[in-house]
Amino acid sequence: MNEWEFGVLEDKTPVESARVDGGAVKKGDRVRLRPSEGGDIFDLALAGQVAVIESIEQDYEGKVHLAVVLEDDPGRDLGVLRQPGHRFFFSPEEVGPVGAEVDSSRVAVHVPSILVAGIGNIFLGDDGFGVEVARRLATFEFPDSVRVRDFGIRGYDLAYALLDGYDLTILVDAAPRGGEAGALYVIEPDIDEGGAEGSGVALDAHAMNPVSVLRLAKSMGPVRGRILLVACEPVSLGGEEGHMGLSDPVAQAVNGAVDVVRDLVEKAQRGELATGASAQGLGK
């Protein structure tokens, strides 16, 4: 019911209080506005705003309406004087106590942007691990906020991509750490130290060293967000002559790596995986 409709009513029954979310509110109380769906442009603009109840009124059908003025409205005094444009009407179901959650459908939720980058050289044996994982991941459907790319050995391309401001970057590569062939690790690279945080073993400098690329990107501009490396223990990185194809242990680890990456993506989307420059190491 708008201001004009209230104005034409001959009888207005004064009401002392109204029930809101199981409690009682009265004139002068502060409430948070949560207009029902299907409203006009004013409803969209007022959703989530804090208002003060100017009066509680009942129409000829017995319905209760709350007349409110916005707490932050510079023209709030005009609303108290019942001037249109500064005084609004809501049903008790369309307001809540201050501090109550606003309808989640009207709250802007941050969706983390995620880059999954497969890196490596397919002509150097197990160094092609990251490329194969990226190829498998490309067969899955991800939200638009998730980007899966095979960077191969294009270090500069990856460095520029890291400057795009992703909330989370997941690098996938082979990395010798002295473990069993085909073993998977989740590492948080230490750009400043050049090693893997908590691992005690520097990342191998083959084809495209992830840490070198991270340092390059950092020298070119700010690199924000969290960066993780899903790595696999290789059997061979091709030797002097090189060869194509993954070793059996590494090939068998590809599906496991795909599951690890998808799990990290899902956790980040649910807010269970900290993102941002202040994130701590995993302590793997």
**HEC readout, 75-86:** CHHHHHCCCCCC
User: Which of 55-69, 124-138, 148-162 is modeled with the greatest confidence?
Assistant: 124-138
Instruction: Assess contact for 232 and 250: CB atoms under 8 A.
Output: yes
Q: Kindly report which listed range (135-149, 216-230, 266-280) carries the lowest average pLDDT score.
A: 266-280
CB 29 within 8 A of CB 53: yes
152 membership: H or E segment, kind and range: strand 146-152
Helix (H) or strand (E) holding 20: strand 17-20
Contact by Cβ (8 Å): 190, 202? no
Given a cut of 80, whether residue 33 has pLDDT beyond it is yes
Q: 262: pLDDT confidence band, cut at 50, 70 and 90?
A: very high
What's the whole-number average pLDDT of the chain?
78
Give residue 109's pLDDT: 65
What's the pLDDT band for 191 if we cut at 50, 70, 90?
low
Instruction: State the alpha helices, DSSP H only, in 146-221.
Output: 155-162, 210-220
Q: List the beta bridge partners of residue 137.
A: none
**pLDDT over threshold 60, residue 279:** no
Calpha distance 160→165 (Å, rounded): 10
Q: Is the pLDDT of residue 5 over 70?
A: no
Query: What radius of gyration do the chain's Cα atoms show?
Result: 29
Confidence of residue 9 (pLDDT cuts 50, 70, 90): very low
Q: Which stretch of 15-19, 91-95, 188-192, 275-279 has the lowest confidence by average pLDDT? A: 275-279
Poorest-pLDDT segment among 31-40, 71-80, 220-229: 71-80
All structural domains of the chain: 3-104 (2.30.30), 114-270 (3.40.50.1450)
% of residues, the chain, pLDDT over 70: 73
- Tell whether the model's pLDDT for residue 173 goes beyond 90: yes
Q: Contact at 8 Å (CB) between 208 and 155?
A: yes
Listed residue (188, 187, 194) closest to 232, CA to CA: 187
The least confident of 105-119, 162-176, 239-253 is: 105-119
Q: Evaluate whether 231 touches 174 at the Cβ level (below 8 Å).
A: yes
C-alpha dist (Å) from residue 122 to 116, 178, 237, 256, 258: 18, 22, 10, 19, 18
Whether the per-residue pLDDT at 89 is higher than 60: the answer is: yes
This prediction's pTM: 0.56
pLDDT digits (tens, 9 = 90+) for 193-249: 544 443 333 333 344 677 788 888 888 888 888 899 999 999 988 766 667 889 999
Neighbours of 13 (CB within 10 A): 12
pLDDT for the residue numbered 8: 47
Kindly state the average pLDDT of the residues 74-80. Answer: 63
